[in-house]
Homo-oligomer: A and B are copies of this chain.
Amino acid sequence: MTQVRQPGGARASGAHLVYVELKRRILDLELAPGERLHEPALTAELGVSRTPLREAVRRLIAENLLEQQPTGAVLVPRLDARDVVELYEVRASLEGLMAGTAARRATGADHDALHGLLARNEALVHFRDDAMAAGTAIHDRIGEIADNAWARHLHRQVTDQMRRYKLTTNSSEERRAAALSEHHDICAAIIAGDDVAAADLASRHVLGARDVAVRALGEPGPDAAAPGADAP
């Protein structure tokens, strides 16, 4: 197997393809937390040799999406409710930073874009998944406006991790409405150029989601991932 150029221009070596596939499986919980990775089995399944597989695994270890035991065994990290709280708080911190920076840097075009995204969020507030996507779009846009590559890089690490927990903090209509209202306030502060308020509102917005998530973890829902629970 040789390396090929993707349409986007980024390289797509076998190792990179394996990395993308393994990462997807981990984040989608197709690889169960606590499960051990067996190189021979994966090489056969993915159709590559051990070398590219190992490179992908090494990268995932570096990203904390896999962990290596002292003996060398590699396994999928277990889910831990403690991580959820920590990740939310870090995310709140980074989003606060980005919102504040965005408030100082946003241009007229950015204001228009935020208005458009807010309108979209409002129109979709009754539809759980669409409202979620619209909210994420607002957050992403704020990150773009802030234009802090390192903040975005670390923020992406955090959100990737959180994806494993399948946290649906806006499953209820009220919660979605509250989130929308908070999005409104955050964007208003950014548009007004009030960086302190924007940072504060954005941070509190995420901490609010943290509280909802923590409560949801206390009373595990239908398909909620129960952190720390091991299937026998």
Contact = CB atoms under 8 A, between A and B. Distances in A.
A72 B15 CA distance: 12
A15 B51 CA distance: 14
Contacts of A70: 5, 9-11
A76 to B, nearest CB: 17
A93 B86 contact: no
A72 B150 CA distance: 23
Nearest to A85: B148
Number of copies: 2
Given A58-B59, A59-B58, A93-B97, A154 B151 contact: no
A48 interface: no
Nearest to A72: B11
Interface residues of A, number: 39
Contacts of A157: 154
B55 A87 contact: no
Contact of A90 (B9, B54, B154): B154
Interface string A1-17: 00101000111010100
25 contacts: A3-B72, A5-B70, A10-B70, A54-B55, A55-B58, A58-B58, A58-B59, A58-B62, A59-B61, A86-B148, A86-B149, A86-B150, A86-B151, A87-B150, A89-B148, A90-B94, A90-B97, A90-B148, A90-B151, A90-B154, A93-B93, A150-B161, A154-B154, A154-B157, A154-B158
